[in-house]
Every structure is written in structure tokens, then in C-alpha cells.
């Protein structure tokens, strides 16, 4: 369900979720009553089936003073903080106002729905949301759109009918294939490899793994074999133990791909303190700050990720373009995104950020996230 490289730590304590939900409900109730629950008269109501309706005027001026809210999956999550700050930077540059709200748990869907409702009542011009669940936010988001609020999803999409645009960090295909290309180079296109994923049910990871398997069918990889996929559940200890298990079960293992930021840093920390350091290659999706120590001590030679700051920036530009009437979210329309260049909307209202960035010893110090 999530497109993040890490499926967020689930609230393992059921009571925790209840209490958070209660606290949030209370908080939201206060906010809602404070603004009287007025609903903006809908001027350009979006249809239920296709979110993208109405005529776009690509030459319309970018409005200023627009109120744009970022609603990440989880506040205080380093990844989203970087993404949202990227959005803030873009909005400040354009002369819009930015705010960030959200739940402190990445799995508090009820809380996220309440935030959407509150933002609708506060008559935001646009919301950039990273959905905790593809379906659960739909009713609230459709209501927001029919009240004239433009909805952009970033990082994690909802069903396409529930938003105008989805700003995607990178195509699943590019991510899956490039990780295989990275490990293949590191092990000289020969030997056994394994994958250390997040949860067995993590759709994003499974999609990427599907492309990895497809990439491995190419003749260039005929001497490489994917022996197994292990699941570390995005928990440090479990990922440690799954890595240990992989190395014990397959003593001839040459490389590990971990397409999750939690998995890769746990695997790297384990490898760096074990006899396997430098003998078993590791790559996957990670953040430069998490991985810096392991790149410097030689445990990891290269890994990749998109730049979350640019993702947030692009989401902000897309939201502004929508709210200014320059685009409506239909396929083929394009908009300008400052330094990032010009972007064209693809099928299903998806805007692709671009290819992932590869980090290694030579460039890692240029990044701080």
C-alpha cells in the first residue's frame, strides 16, 4: 500500500493506536469547532470518476498567497520532514503559504482522514498528501476536491479517482532494474544474491522485486541467481537476524539487495561488525545520512534513492500549478517546476520525478538527508 522504501513501523501496541486516535480526534474536534465548519461554495467541483476535469490554461499566471498544506504519512519522520521542507522551499519562493500537519503514527488512517476534513474546512487551496492507505482517504479527498481544494498525492498514492495528480518519486520499474544493475556490477555479474525486503505484504517492495526478477532474466545476468527473498519487517533486530540467516543458509552468497531504508541500514550495520564485511556486497534503497558510515568503512560501495527534497518541491509546484488553473491533471498537460524543469503529466495523472540518484564514496558527502 505504501510507496515508501520503508513501510512504517506498525503500531505494535493496539492500545497505542487507539489512544493516538482518541487524542487526534479530540484535537481535530477542537480545531473544527474553532473554524465553525464553514464549507466553501464549490465553484469548480471535480467529478467523481475522473479527478481531472475543466479546461486548463497553461498560460495562466501563477497565483500568489495560495494556502498549501502538506499532510505526510507521519510527522517527525526524517524522510517526510525533508520532503515537506522541499515543498516549503518551493512555496516560499513562489510566494505561497505553507503548512504541515499530520499524525505521529504512520498507520493512523483515521487520524489522517480527520486532517483532510479539517484542511477542507479551513479552505486550503491545495493539499499535498502522502496516503497511508489507497482507499481509506477517498471519501474525504473527494469531498475536498468538490469543495474546490486541489489534491496532489506524493510518495504514496490513493486510488486515481481521489486526487488530481500523483507525484511519483521514481518509476517502480526503474528502481527495481537499477538495483539489480548496481549489485551485478559489484559482484562481477557472477554468484548468488538474496533480497532483504520489508514486510512480506509490502506492495511497493513486492512491485520492485517483481522488476528485479524480470531484470535478472536478461542474458547478462545468466551467471547470477536470486536464491531467496527474506523479510525483515522493517525492524532493526528482525532485519539483523534475517541477514544472519541468509549468510548462514547460503554460505556462498555474494550480494544482498535491500529495497527498504530500514532493512539496508540494519544489514549494513550487521555486516560492518561481522566477518562478512567487504566479502558480501550490499546495495538497495537508503538515505545518505543513514549509510554514510558504511560507505566510508567499505561495507557498502553504492546504493540509491531519489532525493526526497525534490519530491516535496515537485509536489508543491504541481499543487500551485493546479490551484492556478495552469493544469487540471489530465494526461499530456505540462507545467514548470522551477529549477527542476518542466514536467508532463502521464497516464492516470502521474508525474514522475525521474531516475533515482546513485550514492557512493565520491558523491555521498554532497547530500544531507
Partner 1 sequence: MTTALGGSAQQDAPAGSGRAGLLDQVLKIRELAIGAVLVLMLAATELDNGSFLSVQGIKDLLLNASILVLVATGQALVVITRNVDLSVGSVLGITAFAAGDILQGGGNPVLAVLAAVGLGIAFGLLNGLLVSIGQVPALVVTLGTLYIVRGVDSLWVGSREITANNLPASYSGFGHDGLWAIPYLGLLAAAVLVVAALYLRHYRSGRELYALGSSPEAARLAGVPIRRRVLTAYLLCGALAGLAGALYLARFGNVDSGTGTGYELTVVSAVVVGGVAFTGGSGSVHGAALGALLLTSINSVLPAIGVSSVWVLAIDGVLLLAAITVDRLTALRVARLLRNRAAATRSLRDHPAQTRSLRHG
Residue 25 binds partner 1, judged by CB under 8 A = no
Residue 233 binds partner 1, judged by CB under 8 A = yes
CA distance 332 to 346: 6
Single out the residue of 96, 155, 290, 313 in contact with partner 1 (rule: CB under 8 A). Answer: 290
Q: How far is the CB of 165 from partner 1 (least distance, A)?
A: 25
Q: How far is the CB of 176 from partner 1 (least distance, A)?
A: 22
Which region among 125-133, 185-193, 262-270, 345-353 touches partner 1 (by CB under 8 A)?
A: 262-270
Q: How many CB atoms lie within 10 A of CB 2?
A: 23
User: Residue 67: helix, strand or coil by DSSP?
Assistant: strand
Of 68 and 253, the one with the shorter C-beta distance to partner 1 is 253
97-126: contacts with partner 1 (CB under 8 A)? 104
Which region among 28-36, 143-151, 286-294, 312-320 touches partner 1 (by CB under 8 A)?
A: 286-294
Residue 203 binds partner 1, judged by CB under 8 A = no
Show the beta-strand stretches assigned E in 232-285.
253-258, 281-284
What's the grid cell of residue 320? 500551485
What's the grid cell of residue 327? 493544469
Residue 330 is given by DSSP the state -
Single out the residue of 53, 206, 238, 348 in contact with partner 1 (rule: CB under 8 A). Answer: 238
Residue 294 binds partner 1, judged by CB under 8 A = yes
Q: How far is the CB of 362 from partner 1 (least distance, A)?
A: 17
What's the grid cell of residue 322? 493546479
Which region among 11-19, 52-60, 139-147, 343-351 touches partner 1 (by CB under 8 A)?
A: 11-19
CA distance 315 to 221: 37
What's the grid cell of residue 310? 525534490
Q: In what order do the strands lie in the sheet with 191-197?
A: 224-231, 191-197, 253-258, 281-284
Residue given cell 542474458 in the structure block: 219
Q: How far is the CB of 172 from partner 1 (least distance, A)?
A: 24
Which region among 43-51, 55-63, 167-175, 242-250 touches partner 1 (by CB under 8 A)?
A: 242-250
Of 140 and 266, the one with the shorter C-beta distance to partner 1 is 266
Q: How far is the CB of 240 from partner 1 (least distance, A)?
A: 7
Of 57 and 200, the one with the shorter C-beta distance to partner 1 is 200
Of 245 and 346, the one with the shorter C-beta distance to partner 1 is 245
Q: How far is the CB of 288 from partner 1 (least distance, A)?
A: 9
Q: Are 155 and 129 in contact (CB under 8 A)?
A: no
Of 143 and 238, the one with the shorter C-beta distance to partner 1 is 238
Of 162 and 364, the one with the shorter C-beta distance to partner 1 is 364
Q: Are 339 and 349 in contact (CB under 8 A)?
A: no
Q: Which of 101, 100, 98, 102 is nearest to 125 (CA)?
A: 98
The backbone region for 193, taken as left when phi is positive above 0, alpha when psi lies in -120 to 50, beta otherwise, is beta
Residue 202 is given by DSSP the state -
3-state SS track over 124-144:
CCEEEECCCCCCCCHHHHHHH
Q: Are 121 and 35 in contact (CB under 8 A)?
A: yes
Interface contacts to partner 1, rule CB under 8 A: 9, 11-13, 15-16, 19, 75-78, 80-81, 104, 200, 228, 230-233, 236-238, 240-242, 244-246, 248-249, 251, 265-266, 268-269, 272-276, 289-290, 292-294, 296
Amino acid at each position: 500500500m505504501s510507496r515508501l522504501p520503508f513501510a512504517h513501523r506498525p503500531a505494535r501496541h493496539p492500545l497505542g493506536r487507539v489512544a493516538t486516535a482518541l487524542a487526534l480526534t479530540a484535537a481535530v474536534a477542537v480545531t473544527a469547532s474553532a473554524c465553525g465548519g464553514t464549507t466553501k461554495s464549490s465553484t469548480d467541483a471535480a467529478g467523481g470518476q475522473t479527478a481531472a476535469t475543466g479546461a486548463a490554461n497553461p498560460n495562466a499566471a501563477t497565483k500568489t498567497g495560495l494556502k498549501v498544506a502538506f499532510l505526510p504519512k507521519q510527522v517527525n519522520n526524517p524522510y517526510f520532514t525533508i520532503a515537506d521542507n522541499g515543498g516549503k522551499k518551493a512555496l516560499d519562493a513562489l510566494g505561497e503559504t505553507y503548512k504541515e500537519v499530520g499524525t505521529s503514527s504512520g498507520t493512523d488512517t483515521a487520524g489522517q482522514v480527520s486532517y483532510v476534513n479539517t484542511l477542507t474546512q479551513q479552505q486550503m487551496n491545495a493539499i499535498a498528501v502522502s496516503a497511508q492507505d489507497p482507499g481509506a482517504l477517498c471519501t474525504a479527498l473527494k469531498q475536498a476536491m468538490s469543495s474546490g481544494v486541489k489534491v496532489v498525492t506524493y510518495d504514496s498514492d490513493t486510488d486515481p479517482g481521489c486526487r488530481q495528480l500523483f507525484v511519483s518519486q521514481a518509476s517502480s520499474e526503474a528502481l527495481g532494474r537499477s538495483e539489480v544493475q548496481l549489485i551485478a556490477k559489484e559482484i562481477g555479474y557472477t554468484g548468488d544474491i538474496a533480497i532483504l525486503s520489508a514486510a512480506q505484504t509490502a506492495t511497493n517492495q513486492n512491485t520492485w522485486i517483481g522488476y528485479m526478477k524480470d531484470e535478472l532474466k536478461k542474458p547478462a545476468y545468466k551467471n547470477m541467481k536470486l536464491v531467496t527473498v527474506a523479510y525483515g519487517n522493517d525492524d532493526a533486530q528482525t532485519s539483523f537476524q534475517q541477514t544472519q540467516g541468509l549468510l548462514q543458509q547460503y554460505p556462498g552468497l555474494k550480494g544482498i539487495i535491500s529495497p527498504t531504508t530500514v532493512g539496508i541500514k540494519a544489514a549494513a550495520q550487521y555486516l560492518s561488525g561481522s566477518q562478512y564485511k567487504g566479502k558480501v556486497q550490499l546495495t538497495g534503497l537508503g538515505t545518505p545520512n543513514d549509510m554514510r558510515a558504511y560507505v566510508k568503512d567499505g561495507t557498502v560501495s553504492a546504493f540509491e534513492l531519489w532525493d526526497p527534497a525534490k519530491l516535496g518541491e515537485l509536489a508543491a509546484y504541481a499543487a500551485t500549478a493546479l490551484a492556478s488553473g495552469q493544469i487540471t491533471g489530465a494526461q499530456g498537460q505540462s507545467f514548470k517546476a522551477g529549477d527542476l524543469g518542466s514536467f508532463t503529466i502521464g497516464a492516470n495523472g502521474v508525474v514522475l520525478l525521474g531516475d533515482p540518484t546513485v550514492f557512493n564514496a565520491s558523491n555521498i558527502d554532497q547530500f544531507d538527508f
